[in-house]
Amino acid sequence: MAQEKSFRDRQVRSSEIRIRKIGVKDLWQALKEGFDDFNAKPSIIAFLIVIYPLFALLWTLLLVGDNLLHLAFPMVAGLTFLGPVVSVGLFEMSRRRERGLDLTWRSAFDFVHSSSFAPILALSLAMMLLYVAWLYVAETLYFGLFGAVPPDSISDFVTQVLTTRRGGALIFYGTVLGFFFAVAALAISVVSFPLALDRPVTAMTAAHVSIKAVSSNTLMMALWGLIVVVLLAAGAILFLIGLAVVLPVLGHATWHLYRKLVEP
């Protein structure tokens, strides 16, 4: 305990943290280890408890307020930006399991009483601001193409998007902008949250190391992003129960990806 306290009292600079080069084998190994963590401490019930009310709230907002229909896809797609925020408990469970510590859910959130809490909170706020910025850009793009009048109904909105030139432009430019936001979210968060949990760093240091890790492994991190999208799509096809398995597995796998990217 005394050793851990002294460790936590020392701030680590980004120049002291080395980044490894990884390959495809490391990505698959991270997924396998993430699945093993999920099997050791299944969290499907916890994620169902979170996912169902969240999606129910989103769809209620979209169906009751017609003026939000144009933000339906950006709102749902942008939730991936918040994935690292809700996965901190999973990172801690994986960290505790590799150290042979107890795996109770209560212990998974002990970090709120440690020096890790401040940088994790700052990173969480940054990801939330990125989500809000994405929604703002998506709304600005829609209003720029279709005007400030929201669609009358779901069918009207779908018809406009799929059958008009403005709809085609919305899909194209929305995809391009969404890609840049997704890259920014991945670069900022993929290493920063596990790093802030694992070492005494500031939020800026954690984000800088995360960006450095992604830039040093551009191809592999692009492949990782593709794997995440494919798995999330597969989970969505199986409705929310699929996501309740995919999301925690990806959360645990992200911890092990961090372990492969950052030298101990």
User: pLDDT tens digits, residue range 38-71?
Assistant: 888 766 555 555 655 566 556 555 555 556 777 7
* Confidence at residue 116, expressed as pLDDT on a 0 to 100 scale: 87
Q: What is the pLDDT of residue 6?
A: 47
Beta bridge partners of 36: none
Q: How far apart are CA 98 and CA 197, in angstroms?
A: 14
Confidence check: pLDDT of 87 > 90: no
* 13's tokens: 């600079």
Model's pTM, two decimal places?
A: 0.84
What does each C-alpha distance from 24 to 29, 118, 153, 217, 238 come to in angstroms?
A: 9, 34, 45, 11, 27
Predicted pLDDT of residue 52:
53
Residue with tokens 């851990």: 4
Terminal Cα distance for the chain, rounded: 19
